[in-house]
Chains A and B, each alone.
Chain A
Amino acid sequence: QLQLQESGPGLVKPSETLSLTCTVSGGSISSSSYYWGWIRQPPGKGLEWIGSIFYSGSTYYNPSLKSRVTISVDTSKNQFSLKLSSMTAADTAVYYCARHGRGDPDAFDIWGQGTMVTVSP
């Protein structure tokens, strides 16, 4: 079955750019039925959607993060990636990649296990 796996550094310095990759296995990222998204969860807090991408490269972002976020897709590697610039302590969180439907239903139905990212000097 389809699985998602996040990868990237667990520690980032303040002001640096976070780069994470999500690898999709057991299925194709080039599906016309799904978007691929990033969601984060600060320690002890709730979920925050960061942004999503379609296999064609079409993106949409959380307005509160839009100025710092870039999401890209590499269909040849069945991967999509997140870049978040100007990191601060407030960006410390578990970062999840997930698939969601395009249209109805549109829920995030498959999630990666998450990767903890800490921002510290």
Chain B
Amino acid sequence: QVQLQESGPGLVKPSETLSLTCTVSGGFISTYYWSWIRQPAGKGLEWIGRIYISGSTNYNPSLKRRVTMSVDTSKNQFSLKLSSVTAADTAVYFCARVPTGGDSFDIWGQGTMVTVSS
């Protein structure tokens, strides 16, 4: 079955750019939207944005000016870049699949913890 796996540095310095990749296995990345969601420790879930295989994106306005998402269909991967990070960006970052017909999230990666600290 389809599985998602996040990868990237677990520690990022303030003001630098957080970069994460989500690898899709067991299926093709095509025909779906893909999202990033984050969760600070002990807190709730925040949607960061989504991307389609065409490269079309939608970002949360609260993060829009710092977020860039991209997709590499040849590698079955999609990526997140978040610039000018601060301690407030410390969180577990999840990638997730958006099923056809509605923007819920039916398959999630296990999540990766990213700490912003010098």
**Are chains A and B native binding partners rather than an unrelated pairing?**
no
Residues of chain B touching chain A, judged by Cβ–Cβ distance below 8 Å, are none
